[in-house]
Structure 1
Amino acid sequence: MKHAQPSKTMTLGADLRALRKARGLKLADLSETLGRSVGWLSQVERDLSEPSITDLRHMAKALNVSVSSLFRQAASAAEEQGFIVRAASRRPIGSHEAGLTEELLSPDLTDDFEVVHSTFEPSSEIADPVTRPTQEVGYVVSGRLDLWIAGQTFTLNAGDSFRIRGEPFRWMNPYPKPAVVIWVIAPPVY
């Protein structure tokens, strides 16, 4: 069965452009931070030039993402690119700090949102509140998770969902089993 090709293909350049725009940065802003020319960065975003590992490290730091989130996972079949993400091909994202493992469920970061599969290990937590200029919705697939949003603490069970609209939040899983949450974030932050 033939499918129409997606309008935006899954490329490093497209992801970098989406991340830069989600942070309100112009090409000139990011190129200055990186110590590179606007032309070079434009070529990277259009997949006409390939950044070095060092460049990727600097970009990840400037965009506040993990370097691993910029690497491609196993390639998908041509007809699936931009449409399907196989379980074995998910890109790891985030820092994996504090007992949290995150994988990108979205084919890329070029949409107005991203979908993330998050696994919170038992006895894990993030102590310092996080505040992002985003709207986020989550659905607890399994386990339990305590979520602190703007000074209120909520215990979420499998089947529960939540929304965060730019408020400071933090999480903890003081329970003996992992909590798995599907997290939708707009605009993309990873």
Structure 2
Amino acid sequence: MSRSLSIAERKEGAEALGPRIRDRRRALGLTLNEVAIGSGLSVGFISQIERGITGPSLSSLLAISRVLAVDISYFLSQPAADGPSTRHDQRVSYGVGNAQRSYERLSAAFAGSTLSGLIIHEPPGVNDIRMSHEGEEMLYVLDGALTVDLGGNLIVLEAQDSIHFAGSTPHTWWNHTDKATTMLWVGTFDVFGGRPAEGQSERAMAKIRGRRPRAARKSRPTN
């Protein structure tokens, strides 16, 4: 059985995440709206993260990190990959900020690696914002059930069901039951940090520049 972070450890992480995101955004002179444009997330969602009201998923935090031109490890310390194998009784279960969803790292880190692997523990009712990105994702439900919104098509997965899709298709998922769901997640983008982002920060900033008025703002953002 994996070891979960204590309530104190989770609280400390939640209190630190929001201010760090806000401080980095302001240091770059970006508004909430510009970070929303670059990440594909909503202004309200990012504002709630900064104020510690909600916590992002790993994918959402990765999208924010790219807009803010830092590695995801700048905001979140995740378990290290100590070797090619993991043991069920030694893995650490951790979360992002005060989000209820928790993760266990499965994948290793080595030169040329392209896969990230996690076990995700999804509590009832948790729903992340719909998003799209590069790469591919695959989910395999180990226990419980899940509703996946894939490009507006709702797909219900039960234990031993799976789904594989292009990350460019807008997607989200949630546990529609009253019991926890456990799933295996595998993706071809780096949710742990350390691999080159392959121009993702530049593409995010290009989105922002494309939406900015011609007269550049000179004042520092206040929101």
Among 170, 173, 179, which residue is 2:172 paired with?
Answer: 170
Q: Does structure 2 conserve the Cα–Cα contact (< 8 Å) formed by 1:72 and 1:91?
A: no
Shift of the alpha carbon at 1:92?
A: 4.8
In structure 1, the residue matched to 2:212 is none
Structure 2 distance, partners of 1:97, 1:132, is 24
Q: Deviations over 1:13-61 (max 9, x none)?
A: xxxxxxxxxxxxxxxxxxxx9xxxxxxxxxxxxxxxxxxxxxxxxx897
What TM-score, normalized by structure 2, do the two folds share?
Answer: 0.48
Shift of the alpha carbon at 1:99?
A: 2.6
Structure 2 distance, partners of 1:156, 1:117, is 16
Q: Does structure 2 conserve the Cα–Cα contact (< 8 Å) formed by 1:109 and 1:188?
A: no
Q: Does structure 2 conserve the Cα–Cα contact (< 8 Å) formed by 1:136 and 1:186?
A: yes
1:15-34 pair list within 5 angstroms: none
Structure 1 distance, partners of 2:80, 2:102, is 17
Structure 2 distance, partners of 1:155, 1:96, is 28
Q: Does structure 2 conserve the Cα–Cα contact (< 8 Å) formed by 1:98 and 1:125?
A: no
Structure 2 distance, partners of 1:131, 1:109, is 26
Structure 2 distance, partners of 1:157, 1:112, is 28
Shift of the alpha carbon at 1:83?
A: 2.2
Asked whether 1:68 is paired with 2:69, we answer no
Q: Give unpaired runs (5+ residues) of structure 2.
A: 1-27, 29-64, 193-223
In structure 2, the residue matched to 1:19 is none
Among 181, 184, 195, which residue is 1:182 paired with?
Answer: 184
Asked whether 1:141 is paired with 2:133, we answer no
In structure 1, the residue matched to 2:6 is none
What TM-score, normalized by structure 1, do the two folds share?
Answer: 0.56
Equivalent position SS for 2:86: coil
Q: Residues 102 and 136 (structure 1 numbering): CA distance in 2 closer, same or farther, change over 3 Å?
A: same
Q: Does structure 2 conserve the Cα–Cα contact (< 8 Å) formed by 1:138 and 1:181?
A: yes
Shift of the alpha carbon at 1:94?
A: 5.8
Structure 2 distance, partners of 1:107, 1:163, is 21
Identity %: 23
In structure 2, the residue matched to 1:56 is none
Larger proportion of strand: 1
Pairs aligned (count): 124
* More divergent stretch after superposition (102-111 vs 151-160): 102-111
In structure 2, the residue matched to 1:99 is 100
Q: Residues 109 and 162 (structure 1 numbering): CA distance in 2 closer, same or farther, change over 3 Å?
A: farther
Among 121, 124, 127, which residue is 1:125 paired with?
Answer: 127
**Runs of at least 4 residues off by over 6 Å:** none
Structure 1 distance, partners of 2:110, 2:95, is 14
- Cα root mean square deviation, aligned: 2.7
Shift of the alpha carbon at 1:88?
A: 3.6
1:48-63 pair list within 5 angstroms: 62-63=70-71
Letter in 1 for 2:102: T
In structure 2, the residue matched to 1:89 is 90
